[in-house]
Amino acid sequence: MRLLVSFVGGTGHFLPLAPPARAAAAAGDRVLVTGQSAMLPVVAAAGFTVVDSGGRTLADPAARRPLAPVDRAAEAAVINDVFAGRIARGRATRLIEIGRTWRPDVILHDEVDFGAAIAADVLGLPRVELVVLPAGGTVDRDRLASSVARTSAEFGLPAGPRAATLTLEPAPPGFRDPTDPLIGTVRRIRPAALDVPLGDPDPATARVLGRLDQFPDRPVVWLTLGTIFHQESGDLFGRMTAGLSRLDASVMVTVGRELDPAELGPTPPNVWVERYVPQQFLLPRCDLVACHAGSGSVLGALAFGVPMLLVPMGADQPANADRCAALGVATVLDPLRLTPEQVARAARTALQDPRFRAAAQPWRAACAALPTAADAVPWIHQLSRHSSGL
């Protein structure tokens, strides 16, 4: 089988696709990954053959933007009007070219890569859609369908693209907002944090883990603001670090590859600041995850049964935070108004109140019980055989 793996955004869109792509390659399939040019080095470093397909451009690594109020309507409009419009139009054109040259049997793409869905229909290929908005509730489905149909019409698909042949949902049952169910053939797989090869940590990661292991009796708190929103978080890192540093805990802060840890200035002895540490090494040691409520961070925390302190800033983060709060696994704070005192108080409660850990632990078992990415490969093979008439 020849599998074209396509994603429209940044790291948060690529990482959930990596386990099934890696599993397909391990099964002997030919795998080609395609995304925006800024992501090519990241994909190549993960061991995949990659080609540029345009789309959304990541922010300038030197850019810093102030923290803005959460605007759910504006975030939904970005998906409806930008991802399903201009970005989908450009990506569909390029993906059709790639498909006609490379001749895949199946296209696997992330949920908001609407250009890949259009390209699959134009090429007459089955497609597998992987959910990257796991909480649901972020967009108006009817409006989104209309936006996609308008773009599809430009490619001779007046009714819009067909529904995905198969939808992969890397989340446990019960997490998604029940008022926004997925449709079609849906099969669950483990969150990516449970389905990545561990191997030996690189020297920098090993150094971090060694520090944490020096204090086995202290709880571990991890602060991250993701791989996109960390650049538009204003002074949020500083306020949250100041609050978390007051805990009798080991505090690991990862600021992202684009930020210099020195920007946070001197930190207390119980706080360590790094650009990046792979979550699969940190999460097994964590007692609390403080983050922006990005899907990868939230699903990773659930996969390891870790309570959360959430500060949603945009995209699908408010919806993720809503679900986590409703399920009792997280406390949600307003990133614009929170103070170090509020952070310290909320984090201390999350660590000391057994109800948070008790609510989070069942999700660990639920995630572990899900099929693996390797289990999904035969499902995709079946689509390929059906499409080719075998």
Q: Give dist(CA 90, CA 87) in Å, integer.
A: 5
Are the beta carbons of 373 and 22 closer than 8 angstroms? yes
pLDDT at 390: 37
Provide DSSP, 256-280: -TTS-GGGG----TTEEEES---HH
CB 62: neighbour CB atoms within 10 A? 7
Q: What is the pLDDT of residue 293?
A: 95
Predicted pLDDT at 11:
87
**Cβ atoms of 93 and 67 closer than 8 Å:** no
What are phi and psi for residue 291, nearest 5 degrees?
-155, 180
Return the DSSP state at 296: H
Nearest Cα neighbor of 322 from 77, 69, 71, 138 is 138
Mind listing the domains of the chain with CATH numbers?
2-190+370-388 (3.40.50.2000), 203-368 (3.40.50.2000)
Q: 294 near 279, Cβ under 8 Å?
A: no
Q: Per-residue DSSP letters for 95-115?
A: HHHHHHHH--SEEEEETT-HH
Q: What one-letter code names the amino acid at 245? A: S
Q: Is 334 exposed, middle or buried (0-12, 13-18, 19+ CB in 10 A)?
A: exposed
Longest dimension (CA), the chain: 64
Q: Exposed, middle or buried, 99 (CB in 10 Å: 0-12/13-18/19+)?
A: buried
Q: What DSSP line would sit under 311-341, residue for residue?
A: ---STTHHHHHHHHHHTTSEEE--TTT--HH
- Give the residue among 306, 310, 347, 318 at the shortest CA–CA distance from 236: 310
HSE-CB for 67 with a 13 A CA cutoff: 18
pLDDT in tens, the chain (390 residues): 999 999 998 888 999 999 999 999 999 999 999 999 989 999 999 999 999 998 766 556 566 677 888 888 988 999 999 999 999 999 999 999 999 999 999 999 999 999 999 999 999 999 999 999 999 999 888 899 999 999 999 999 987 777 778 999 999 999 999 999 998 899 999 999 999 877 788 898 999 999 999 999 999 999 999 876 666 667 899 999 999 999 999 999 999 877 788 888 889 999 999 988 988 899 999 999 999 999 999 999 999 999 999 999 988 999 999 999 999 999 999 999 999 999 999 999 999 999 999 999 999 999 999 999 999 999 999 998 655 543
Q: Output the DSSP codes for 59-104.
A: PPTT---------HHHHHHIIIIIIIIIIHHHHHHHHHHHHHHH--
